[in-house]
């Protein structure tokens, strides 16, 4: 009877240990997939933001009521914004995540994520090519 009880509790402990290990692995996978989705979205949004800001710069340069100093100030402000906004979004994602998962993030800035973004785009291109061949 005691042996059966010990085996029962050993099985319960083993189940708990394995479920914790699998949960951590699943959480890590979900976190990294979310991270990939965020950089893909940031890249798509960046194209639209760049287009909008370039049109804004054209309009600012054509405006005769603004001084050269004001035009330069507006354009420099936009360039500073463009340089930082993607890293800001990634930082907000990191800060919003539970601290115990921080070690699983693969990159902390936009520049760090560019290699992964290139890999993802290459994968998408190969999938598109396979679809076009069939």
Residue 127 lies in a domain: yes
Decide: 49 and 85 in contact? Cβ < 8 Å.
yes
CA–CA separation, 117 and 99 (whole Å): 24
Q: What's the mean pLDDT when you consider all of the chain?
A: 84
Residue 24 lies in a domain: no
Q: Whole domain around residue 98: which residue ranges? A: 32-133
Residue 68 lies in a domain: yes
Residue 11 lies in a domain: no
pLDDT digit string, tens, across residues 52-69: 999 999 998 888 888 889
- Quote the number of domains for the chain: 1
Q: Which residues of the chain have pLDDT under 70?
A: 21, 23-24, 133-134
């Amino acid at each position: 009877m005691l042996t059966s009880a010990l085996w029962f509790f050993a099985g319960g402990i083993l189940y708990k240990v394995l479920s914790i290990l699998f949960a951590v692995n699943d959480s890590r996978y979900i976190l990294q997939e979310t991270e990939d989705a965020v950089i893909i979205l940031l890249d798509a949004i960046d194209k639209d933001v760049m287009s909008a800001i370039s049109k804004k710069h054209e309009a600012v340069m054509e405006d005769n009521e603004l001084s050269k100093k004001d035009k330069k100030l507006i354009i420099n402000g936009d360039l500073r914004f463009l340089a930082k906004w993607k890293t800001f979004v990634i930082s907000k994602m990191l800060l919003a995540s539970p601290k115990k998962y921080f070690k699983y993030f693969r990159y902390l800035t936009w520049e760090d994520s560019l290699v992964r973004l290139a890999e993802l785009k290459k994968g998408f291109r190969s999938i598109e090519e396979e679809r076009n061949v069939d």
